[in-house]
Structure 1
Amino acid sequence: MPATPHPEHPRPDLYREPWCSLNGVWEFAPDPRDEGLAQEWWQRSSLPEQILVPYPVGSELSGQPELDAPRAVYWYLRHFDLPPAMHDRCLRLHFGAADHQARVWLNGVLLGDHLGGYTPFSFDITEVTRRNDNRLVVRVADSRSMRQVRGKQAWQQRAGSIFYPGIAGLWQTVWLEAVGPSCLGELRLYPDLKGGCFHVRATVERPEAASYLDVYLALPDGARLPAASLRVAGGRVSGAVPVVDPRPWSPEAPHLYDLELVLRTRGGAELDRVRTYGGLREIAVDGDRILLNGHPLYQRLVLVQGYFPGGIYTPAGDEGWRRDVELVRALGFNGLRMHQKLEAPRFLYWCDRIGALVWDELPSAYWPGPSSREQVRRMLPEMIGRDANHPSVITWVLFNESWGIHDLNWSAAARTELAQLANQARNLDPSRPVIDNSGFDHVETDIVDIHHYLSSLAQAEALYDRLVAGREWRHAFLPGLRYMVQPHKCFKPPLAPGARYGGQPMVVSEYGGFGFYPSDEGGSLLDQYRAATLAIARRPQLRGFCYTQMYDVFQETNGLLTFDRQPKVPIEALRAFHEGLGA
């Protein structure tokens, strides 16, 4: 392992120089009685233990493999000197993610707080940073509350069923970057395949000196080709950036354009420089079809949980994310559903580069209430703001199987709130379809996705026939309760009370689970997989599938691979099977 784990820049889609990783050994102290605030631990010059960032509390790689991780408060301390290239520059401090509630001090000055364990946050530290001996302190509080957004992390003391060991604390890269006195803030690239251009929209922070934004296409030989010069007005900048030889992005041909954006004064002096990239990709819903770049898309997806040996939420290195994406494609899938976790941007970067479609899914709480709903309302714009520039991301998923919102079965207000969240996602990003509640209890969705784990192939085929014939849609609450404890024996219909099917595309986005859920079918894992998947593929009204799951995760041993990513089925045979589907 390198001296600085995960030394790569964590945001290839938003790259500035100079930058400096703060990953590595930090001083550390658990605070199980939550005494640190009263005792002003943020003023301390040392802490008694150590932890290796960015591996979370609870993981072996962190050096703090506490199995009881999400129950307490944890304090981190890091001393650092500024690299000479950052002297006398405007500076930002970035955190990729901290689970669950973070408070940050630098040199004894409170920078601020962030709530939510999956989204990034940053602070302007220009006024409080010294050239030498800076003291950065982070307090992270976590809990087992069922109203806390936690994804697949168990709320019980012991993990079991389909829930896994919990983590806490810093689990993505921490880094510094130098920015200009005027600099780009939020940056969005809207691909326009028909127009052969990107539409750039950005905010400008401290915009007084900024006059225009030059945009260059970075060519493979290292040259830069001027593409556009856009005027800054009212702290914003927008306009079209045409590209040379426009080529679409797709899993089969994941073509990307590297861009360089330079913010300038009226006289042409450089204020800020950002490197990014984008793909010309259009995803659309047309009646009951899903179109990619104007052509029907058949989705061959696999469910990915984002858990790793040793690091739990964080792989040992960047190669762990890259290998997972390479395996998705090697197995013959054209994409994945990232389940109950907002994975780090480096993972999405590899999906962009290698070519894998992504359903980007908010993690859920388990119990409804004002606090869990408020967390989702906060996270939704943060997720879209972070991930919208990735061409691989084609769908936003807001909830899974009514986790944290099961009151929508009896509450019209809860259903209205879900519909409002779906419309908020569309307003934040009109370019992608939105799935409101993956699996069932759909209220306001662009794709009707369906979950089942029926143990009999005959039962599954009968279900598909009823669905495509327009039956099996009426809401039913009791099958949902039974599904929670016996998913192999029943199916919960797709719609919430009062909802009507509007002709949207249908995708079977969870099925199988062989090796964990009971199966009445004989044969090898590959035989069972082929039969279950062919039952979907033979019905053209079903526009794709997502198999549960890519690899085993702790006790849930239903993967096509083991937890350490060794194949349980012949990879070549599986790829050959997939290549014959949905052509």
Structure 2
Amino acid sequence: MIKQILSFSFLLFSIVANANEPLIHNNFSREGISLNGKWHYIVDVYETGYYNYRRKPHDDSENPGAGAFYLNKKPKDKMELVEYNFDLAPTLLVPGDWNSQKEKLFYYEGSLWYKKSFDLPDYNPEKRYFLHFGAVNYRADVYVNGKKLGMHKGGFTPFNFEMSHLVKQKDNFVIVRVDNKRAADEVPTLNTDWWNYGGITRDVTIYELNKTFIQDYSLQLAKDNAGIMTGYFQLDGAGKSNSKVNVSIPELKIEKSFTTDENGYLKFQFPVKKLKFWSDKSPKLYHVEFSTEDDQLSDEIGFRTIATKGSDILLNGEVVFLKGICMHEENVMRGGRAHSMEDAQMLLNWTKELGCNFVRLAHYPHNENMLRLADKMGILVWEENPVYWTIQWENLETYANAENQLKEVISRDKNRASVIIWSMANETPQTDARFVFLSNLAKTARSIDNTRLISAALEDHGKKGEQNTMIVEDKFAEVVDVLSFNQYYGWYGGEVDNIKNIRWEVDLDKPIIISEFGAGALQGFHADSLTRWSEEFQELLYKETLPTLDKIPQLSGITPWILADFRSPRRMLIPYQDGWNRKGLISETGNRKKAFYTLQEFYRNKK
């Protein structure tokens, strides 16, 4: 019965999910026209600019009224009533969240309109123009010159729309309605443990492309043969059929040419010799060039294999232990959502200082800067879809949304050697519907990319009748490649002085990653080691937990919770929390807590 549900559901969900405009992938290497900077904004609490007084969307009408903000309307004379004016409105910086930029918007969740004017000095009607967003949280309705381009849902993945038919050389404007209201049927849903930063949180770029261009490419080692390079190309445009495509890796003296099919697609493979593998100890990247008659791109790509064998994780065929840490996409020193390469550098430098070779990017896809930098620094990465806690498991649209966000992050980061794990979810309650939901996501991930490992942060619990034995009973454990679970013995239940007596009973012959453990501590608050919220208590929990976890036979890695304190409205206790989750090893002022050095020493001694 479950198999039938899986098959039928997967078919339905795939139909629902494939409605978005194709994404221009690997745009990181393209030159574009940046729209970053100051954007005018209007806070729209009642959504007046989107709905008319009958609660009908203005953009559903052929003759929208003057109240439709996306028209950027100006009065024709001194008597015409227009009740908004972007040009007189204040400004916000893009990329950036509105919460940390304006004190009045600190707790705001709702609709906010952004407007930016732009020119195209080198406008060429023979070119194609795309408007690309790195991410907008959560829903984005995008309009150019008064016409709607489209809508995107999902706060952490890129999207773009073609606007060739609307733009001109001068006096263009883009207006974006951003709505970050939480909802029960969205992904993530109502209940999370992080700050719901709203806004255009990543770069906005215009790309001028030829009529036919490289829409997507992939290049990596074959799953079961490190001597074979495999990949694919997808061209877009009128000249995509039967086009010649070239792949060049100068350092390896590789020059290959292929021809696309009638749909502009080709899948290829070729042998490769004398390859230096990418690894955490030697993050070798090769300069790769891709070209057609009409387009060319280059990338820096590392090549490695990742697999499991019994309870081991194998990187390039050798056992690797993942010395990790969890992190949120937040620059606590500045306050607000992290978005720049400098932000990524700060966070990953902290992980290197800890002695990490692995990071879990919680609980959603982080900025592409993070993955590009991890490639260069030799840091292995766990990426996670924001299926968090409670989701409407039987809602087809909710699944389609989750699947689409998963596809978008896999498509964006498939060429990043640092990414070794796609995580489907975090701490989700067990039901048959949830099993179907997550199993379909895993099936989708494997169909897109069969070279990486699948996991999810599951939960453990005590074995009935055995006080000190913990188990993981979850059908989804059979689906994943790596069994990962969160455990908080000593913080959420259990006595810290009993941690040394705890054991985990896991029958599956799979690698285990402890995806979370930890305790809250207010940096600078010192007391005896059995005083909650003190640095000493957090330090004690780490000292007791680390050697206990190390006794798990299948243990292949840990990612304690969490690198740095982060904002969360769930955490209200004054003076210890005051709107912050205090389980970080580093405070919002950048100070290391005592447990930071405990973990650092454990990793230093861990072989």
Q: TM-score range by the shorter chain?
A: 0.7 to 0.9
Partner of 2:265: 236
Q: Which moved more, 1:16-25 or 1:567-576?
A: 567-576
Amino acid at match of 2:310: G
Contact 2:586 2:596 survives alignment (8 Å): no
Contact 2:585 2:593 survives alignment (8 Å): yes
Pick from 42, 45, 57 the counterpart of residue 70 of structure 2. 42
Amino acid at match of 1:383: V
What displacement does 1:96 show? 0.8
Q: How does 1:485-500 map to 2 (within 5 A)?
A: none
Contact 2:126 2:210 survives alignment (8 Å): no
Q: Distance in 2 between matches of 1:523 and 1:120?
A: 42
1:321-358 deviations in Å (ceiling 9; x for gaps): 11211221121111111111210101111111111111
Pick from 221, 229, 243 the counterpart of residue 198 of structure 1. 229
Q: Distance in 1 between matches of 2:41 and 2:366?
A: 25
Give the share of equivalent positions with the same residue, in percent.
24
What displacement does 1:463 show? 3.4
Q: Distance in 2 between matches of 1:326 and 1:454?
A: 29
Do structure 1's residue 140 and structure 2's residue 169 form an aligned pair? Answer: no
Contact 2:399 2:437 survives alignment (8 Å): no
Pick from 246, 250, 260 the counterpart of residue 275 of structure 2. 246
Partner of 1:119: 157
Q: Distance in 2 between matches of 1:131 and 1:288?
A: 60
Q: Distance in 2 between matches of 1:339 and 1:138?
A: 27
What displacement does 1:295 show? 1.0
Do structure 1's residue 20 and structure 2's residue 65 form an aligned pair? Answer: no
Q: Distance in 1 between matches of 2:27 and 2:237?
A: 19
What displacement does 1:127 show? 2.2
Amino acid at match of 1:304: M
Q: Distance in 2 between matches of 1:166 and 1:229?
A: 47
| Structure 2, unaligned runs of 5 or more | 1-23, 53-66, 74-84, 461-473, 523-527, 568-579
1:395-436 deviations in Å (ceiling 9; x for gaps): 11111110xxx3x34xx2332332222222222211112114
Q: Which moved more, 1:537-546 or 1:255-264?
A: 537-546
Pick from 450, 455, 466 the counterpart of residue 435 of structure 1. 455
Partner of 1:391: 417
Q: Distance in 1 between matches of 2:590 and 2:548?
A: 27
Cα distance change, pair 238–368 in 1 and its aligned pair in 2 (3 A)? closer
Do structure 1's residue 58 and structure 2's residue 81 form an aligned pair? Answer: no
1:223-262 deviations in Å (ceiling 9; x for gaps): x955211222221123236667411111111111121111
Cα distance change, pair 365–255 in 1 and its aligned pair in 2 (3 A)? same
- What's the C-alpha RMSD, in Å, of the aligned pairs? 2.9
State the TM-score, normalized to the length of structure 2: 0.78
Structure 2 counterpart SS, 1:84: coil
Pick from 202, 209, 217 the counterpart of residue 187 of structure 1. 217
Q: Distance in 2 between matches of 1:372 and 1:30?
A: 27
Cα distance change, pair 14–317 in 1 and its aligned pair in 2 (3 A)? closer
Cα distance change, pair 241–319 in 1 and its aligned pair in 2 (3 A)? farther
What displacement does 1:576 show? 4.6
What displacement does 1:311 show? 6.2
Partner of 2:375: 352
Amino acid at match of 2:72: R
Do structure 1's residue 166 and structure 2's residue 196 form an aligned pair? Answer: yes
1:295-332 deviations in Å (ceiling 9; x for gaps): 11211111111122376553374211112112211211
Cα distance change, pair 513–573 in 1 and its aligned pair in 2 (3 A)? closer
Partner of 1:485: none
Do structure 1's residue 372 and structure 2's residue 398 form an aligned pair? Answer: yes
| Structure 1, unaligned runs of 5 or more | 1-10, 156-161, 265-270, 471-501
Partner of 1:215: 247
Q: How does 1:118-517 map to 2 (within 5 A)?
A: 118-150=156-188, 163-192=193-222, 194-196=225-227, 198-206=229-237, 208=239, 211-217=243-249, 227-234=255-262, 235-240=264-269, 245-264=274-293, 271-309=294-332, 314-315=337-338, 317-369=340-392, 370=395, 371-402=397-428, 406=429, 408-409=430-431, 412-440=432-460, 441-443=474-476, 444-455=479-490, 456-457=495-496, 459-464=498-503, 466-467=504-505, 470=507, 502-515=508-521
Partner of 2:5: none
Contact 2:136 2:154 survives alignment (8 Å): yes
State the TM-score, normalized to the length of structure 1: 0.81
Cα distance change, pair 163–539 in 1 and its aligned pair in 2 (3 A)? closer
Q: Distance in 2 between matches of 1:277 and 1:28?
A: 37
Partner of 2:574: none
1:269-316 deviations in Å (ceiling 9; x for gaps): xx0111222211111121222111111121111111112237655337
Do structure 1's residue 552 and structure 2's residue 565 form an aligned pair? Answer: yes
Q: Distance in 1 between matches of 2:219 and 2:346?
A: 27
Q: Distance in 1 between matches of 2:213 and 2:106?
A: 43
Q: Distance in 2 between matches of 1:418 and 1:314?
A: 28
Pick from 63, 68, 84 the counterpart of residue 107 of structure 2. 68
Would you identify which runs of 4 or more consecutive aligned residues in structure 1 move more than 6 Å? Answer: 570-573
Q: Distance in 1 between matches of 2:456 and 2:340?
A: 33
Amino acid at match of 1:324: L
What displacement does 1:75 show? 0.8
What displacement does 1:186 show? 2.5
Partner of 2:135: 97
Contact 2:333 2:589 survives alignment (8 Å): no
